Structure 1
Amino acid sequence: MKQLILHVGLHKTGTSSIQSFLMKNIEILKEQGTAVYTRKGKAGVHWVPAMIKNKQPHQVKMVADFVRSELAKDDVNQVIISSENFTQTKQVNYPMITSLLPSNTQLVIIIYLRRQDLLKQSVYSQMVKQGTFSGTINEDSHYNFDLYKQCTKWKALTNDIRVRVVERSQLIEGDLLKDFVHTIGLKWNEKFEPLVNQINESYCSDTMEFKRLLNAKKLPPTINKKIAATLSQYDKERSDNEREKAVFFDFSEASSFLDGFNEGNSGIAREFLGREDGLLFTEMPSEEQLKNIPKLSEKQILNFSAYLIKNLVS
């Protein structure tokens, strides 16, 4: 049976990398019977969940026509539609999703999960980097971290829900892109072009803290964008010894935060991954990893300020 695959995210689980890979290898995927729905040269088609949410049948029909025409071809076995914004889809909108399906087509949901404390740090980092937030990580409530709810919400649509965990030990060959190719039922092809640059690079700990404090000044968007890019360049020019991954939880905070999701995480492991032990994540936080909570010295503040002045004023 032919398939319509919805890659629904989640946010901050490598979706941008997967979408860039799909776009870069669209012809090679087509050779293997997989068509990718794109819009304006991108495989991250966030307008699809938006029009489903806003109940726009004419726009939905445009997507349905693409799916139908592709799956009607003898050499196409599946169509992929990718957007992490599907996480915002509610069950009341499910009829619009089913309207995308031609007859005799199986709907497949692919969902990637990331440990909640890492997910929260990543969402928080993005908000700070964009300049839209100046609070601490404990004040940030931009995301729903109930992964069990995110998985089970799709049961009303299909029984084929493929849950993957973003941990090196749980990904095929420790590689997100190879894992995704395997999850959609294909074999890795040496023709595939890998991604050269990292997507959505994060700041170092001290850079993130400096940007957070700067956000409180509510600078105009154009200036904030320039500052964000300049600080990214600052981190790239630093030596390896100076470049520390951003950390915002200490060990006890991370452990306490994760404890609130133990029951749901165990449910996912049992119901979607067939693990009787209820173990979803295998790479848990350690005290050694969570010791570099950002604290800015006067010297660091002066270094950041001098770099910004030099690169923005000159």
Structure 2
Amino acid sequence: MLTNLFSRERDKRVFPQLFIHVGPGKTGTSVIQNWCSKNTKFLEKKGYYYPEHNLDENGISSGHAGLLGTVIDGKWTLSSSKINKFKGDISRLRNKKIILSSEAFWRHLDKLIEYFPGAQFIFYIRSPLEFFESGYNQNVKRSRLMKPIADRYHSFSARPYGAEFLTKAVRDYRLENFIIRLYSRDLFAGGNILHDFFEIFNISKLPNLTVGDVNPSYCFEALEFKRLINHYHLSAANDIKLDKLLQSYQGGVTDYSIVDPETYEAFKIQVVDTLVPLLEQCKIPESSAKGFLDQIKTKKQKAYFKQNLSDDARNSILQYLSEHDNDLAALLRMKLKCKPGDEADSSVTEKVQLGKGVPKTAHRLLDSLTEIYGNDIASAELYRDLSCCFEHENLGLAQILMENAAKLRPTGPFINSKLSYLNKLLDESGS
């Protein structure tokens, strides 16, 4: 924590040099943040302090967004109170140099420069051609995009992601405030994004470089499977489960392009024409700019695959899912028997109808669970446990819940035994 590094001799401390890495997205930010958060002691030995932040189970983080800002009405924004606290805190740090990183920062470059006029802002420029496909794939993964990429051709921008904020900041403030790097796997210093990033700080020998694949891309078949499943409106919990499993699925093509070759070449021309004046404005050294542009001009497109999911690929993925999460796989199999969006035909996605005479607490509980899990409360354990809770309150409801548990886990011994018992009680009661 920051407080662990404060000195009591505040007046003797010099305000430290601040480096703020702003991304933007899809320029290796997750890898940089993952590595930095796991190697803070190494960085401190080199004279750099990287404040700690959380990583999710996939090794992904919002970085230091929470250190300088907050979310209001669903949008992240800078917080003057947090910034003032942070400025007070770092004035007492023993370390003389601080590195912050968050993709949330790039949209607020102008205000950040006003708050931290002496800071240096690290910004990566990536070819929009690469970003277009990468961004589309990310939207399929995390934003439930259903349409093919061809439907988004009209929205293609030849300007690098975030360039409008960068050029405005470069125009309105000193260029010396910025460290602008070129994002290209073929041109990275040291051959990867981590070595390229730390070249800024003259740190060349990095430990623990095997951080794993952070936020890995889907193979082609997994991408198309997720795009198909996005039509069926999974609950948030199950969507996260599916995303994690599809990231680890290795049964398909990993090196591919989904932009048709003719369009790819047309986009390439637009990108080069747009990048030339941008690189000049950002004062990128002529040799670096030329290498970057030449790499875009000459780089061959990856093998083109028209977006479609074969039956064999779908069955292979479902089998893989069954091996790792049988409940989720069972839910998806049942959903896929229906037409996309036809929720009424799916016994799993139907809302449980409690009927008359059921305690209001039962209605409220199931309504709350539906808000959290969606209409597809797709956990055999959840259905099973709810059934047991309602067994003495409403036998019919308990039986419905246990039936749903059995559909998701047809071989569960306790579930089947309990369902037989509930059916027997209903028969005996004449319900």
Unaligned 5+ residue runs, structure 2?
A: 1-14, 56-60, 328-408, 410-431
Partner of 2:284: 273
1:204 to partner: Cα distance: 0.7
Structure 1 or 2, whichever has the larger Rg, is 2
Matched, 1:177 2:191: no
| SS of 1:283 mapped into structure 2 | helix
Gap change, CA 1:286 and 1:277, over 3 Å in 2 = closer
Aligned AA (1:11): G
Matched, 1:24 2:38: yes
- Match 2:168 to one of 150, 153, 175: 153
The separation in 2 between residues aligned to 1:13 and 1:278, in whole angstroms, is 17
Aligned AA (1:35): Y
> How does 1:102-251 map onto structure 2 within 5 Å?
106-140=118-152, 146-147=159-160, 148-155=163-170, 156-160=172-176, 161-183=178-200, 185-189=201-205, 192-235=207-250, 238=251, 242-251=252-261
| SS of 2:213 mapped into structure 1 | coil
Q: Do the aligned partners of 1:131 and 1:212 also contact (CA within 8 Å) in 2?
A: no
Gap change, CA 1:145 and 1:243, over 3 Å in 2 = same
- Match 2:305 to one of 292, 298, 310: 292
| SS of 1:37 mapped into structure 2 | coil
Gap change, CA 1:234 and 1:189, over 3 Å in 2 = closer
Aligned AA (2:195): K
Q: Do the aligned partners of 1:46 and 1:85 also contact (CA within 8 Å) in 2?
A: yes
Report the more deviating stretch, 157-166 or 135-144.
Answer: 135-144
Percent of aligned pairs sharing the same letter: 21
Aligned AA (2:114): T
Partner of 1:307: 320
Q: Do the aligned partners of 2:257 and 2:301 also contact (CA within 8 Å) in 1?
A: no
Q: Provide the aligned length of Structure 1 versus Structure 2.
A: 296
The separation in 1 between residues aligned to 2:141 and 2:242, in whole angstroms, is 9
The separation in 2 between residues aligned to 1:142 and 1:88, in whole angstroms, is 20
1:166-217 C-alpha deviation (Å, 9 max, x unpaired): 223321121211111111x222235x32233110111111210121111011
1:259-284 C-alpha deviation (Å, 9 max, x unpaired): 33334311233233122796343333
The separation in 1 between residues aligned to 2:241 and 2:155, in whole angstroms, is 24
- Match 1:88 to one of 107, 112, 123: 107
The separation in 1 between residues aligned to 2:124 and 2:62, in whole angstroms, is 17
| SS of 1:264 mapped into structure 2 | helix
RMSD after superposition: 3.0
> How does 1:5-84 map onto structure 2 within 5 Å?
5-40=19-54, 44-48=63-67, 50-51=69-70, 54-70=77-93, 73=94, 76-84=95-103
The separation in 2 between residues aligned to 1:62 and 1:277, in whole angstroms, is 39
The separation in 1 between residues aligned to 2:271 and 2:294, in whole angstroms, is 15
Gap change, CA 1:258 and 1:49, over 3 Å in 2 = farther
The separation in 2 between residues aligned to 1:20 and 1:303, in whole angstroms, is 32
Q: Do the aligned partners of 1:250 and 1:290 also contact (CA within 8 Å) in 2?
A: no
Aligned AA (1:207): A
The separation in 1 between residues aligned to 2:53 and 2:246, in whole angstroms, is 31
Higher helix share: 2
The separation in 1 between residues aligned to 2:79 and 2:32, in whole angstroms, is 27
1:123-159 C-alpha deviation (Å, 9 max, x unpaired): 1111211252112224459997633424323323442
Aligned AA (1:275): E
The separation in 2 between residues aligned to 1:43 and 1:27, in whole angstroms, is 21
Whose relative contact order is higher, 1 or 2, with alpha carbons under 8 Å and at least 6 apart? 1
Gap change, CA 1:55 and 1:189, over 3 Å in 2 = closer
| SS of 2:49 mapped into structure 1 | strand
| SS of 1:110 mapped into structure 2 | strand
Gap change, CA 1:87 and 1:136, over 3 Å in 2 = farther
Gap change, CA 1:132 and 1:112, over 3 Å in 2 = same
Aligned AA (1:85): A
Partner of 2:399: none
Report the more deviating stretch, 158-167 or 8-17.
Answer: 158-167
Unaligned 5+ residue runs, structure 1?
A: none
1:32-88 C-alpha deviation (Å, 9 max, x unpaired): 221113345778112256449635321111221233223xx4xx3321111111122
Q: Do the aligned partners of 2:124 and 2:183 also contact (CA within 8 Å) in 1?
A: yes
- Match 2:269 to one of 248, 259, 271: 259
Aligned AA (2:243): A
Gap change, CA 1:47 and 1:254, over 3 Å in 2 = farther
| SS of 2:278 mapped into structure 1 | helix
Gap change, CA 1:232 and 1:56, over 3 Å in 2 = closer
1:110 to partner: Cα distance: 0.9
Name the TM-score, length of structure 1 as normaliser.
Answer: 0.81
Aligned AA (2:190): E
